[in-house]
Chains A and B, each alone.
Chain A
């Protein structure tokens, strides 16, 4: 139960950050990605602000050896640059550029009760399910 409460609090802070920075607005995100148009560099500072905190905070936290309410830190173990990583990032980038939503802002935007958000999220879940199916039937390149 305690881990659900802490996750809820972290989620609220994360969602507030997305709203404060206006990253929940696809139009603002596309203005950042449109470097040949009327460019809005804000997103670079959102990432910069987040990274400034995580860069220092992660070091302090990981130095403690153990999380407060769990046995261990669950960190990614993969190290190699494989075709899945590159293809996945490329495919994600195309979708992000088409609409201006990445997963966090898309889910957070449910707060604004927009039908467009719901459609995007359903398609996103279908895409994730498609990945699970393709992975199960070995249609994807092997992980290294």
Chain B
């Protein structure tokens, strides 16, 4: 196994920021910081329930820009337009069907030791690893 571009310190610090954000959202607003759920709730919002969701997503963009733009964090998107569109459709559909994504299941759910979230995280991790293997080493190999 060849390990490359490993950035353990920034990964841990960034992860701690994400965890802190999730703890704050639960402590103050009583909400789980699952991005697919927060964004998905905007497609059929309950009355008075859209504002905090929009605010969180706006914050997400501001926070990423505040650090990422001056620091010059690279954004490399290799996928072609058809793959981008298919990938986006699958992510949007799958996260709603499965009730969560990397943040909701992977960070918040596992912290609550939810059996559903642990199984969901193992499943989407495995599916993603297999997909990358097929795309990079079978199809693209």
Contacts and interface: CB of A to CB of B under 8 A. Distances in A.
A61 B23 contact: yes
A48 B12 contact: yes
Nearest to B131: A97
Interface in B40-76: 40, 43-44, 51-69, 71, 73-76
Interface string A8-36: 11111111111111111111101101111
Interface of chain A, main secondary structure = helix
Nearest to B93: A127
B64 A111 contact: yes
Interface in A67-98: 67-76, 78-81, 84-98
Contacts of B102: 47, 96, 102-104
Interface in B1-38: 1-8, 10-33, 35-36
A26 B39 CA distance: 20
Task: Give the contact-size bracket for chain B.
Answer: 35 or more
A25 B1 contact: no
A92 B110 CA distance: 17
Contact of B56 (A7, A66, A87): A7
Contact of B16 (A18, A50, A96, A106): A50
B116 A34 contact: no
Task: Give the contact-size bracket for chain A.
Answer: 35 or more
A19 B69 CA distance: 9
A58 B7 contact: no
B110 A6 contact: no
A6 B90 CA distance: 31
B30 A73 contact: yes
Given A92-B91, A95-B88, A97-B131, A20 B67 contact: yes
Interface in A108-144: 108-112, 114, 116-117, 119-132, 140
Nearest to B122: A89
Contacts of A27: 74, 76-78
B81 A94 contact: no
Contacts of A122: 88
Listed residue (B39, B96, B106) with the most chain A CB atoms within 10 angstroms of its CB: B96
Given A6-B28, A49-B15, 10 more contacts: A19-B66, A21-B17, A34-B132, A47-B15, A54-B23, A74-B31, A76-B32, A94-B94, A103-B91, A124-B91
Interface of A: 3-28, 30-31, 33-55, 57-58, 61-62, 64, 66-76, 78-81, 84-104, 106-112, 114, 116-117, 119-132, 140
Interface of B: 1-8, 10-33, 35-36, 39-40, 43-44, 51-69, 71, 73-79, 81, 83-99, 101-103, 105-112, 114-116, 119-121, 123-133, 135-137
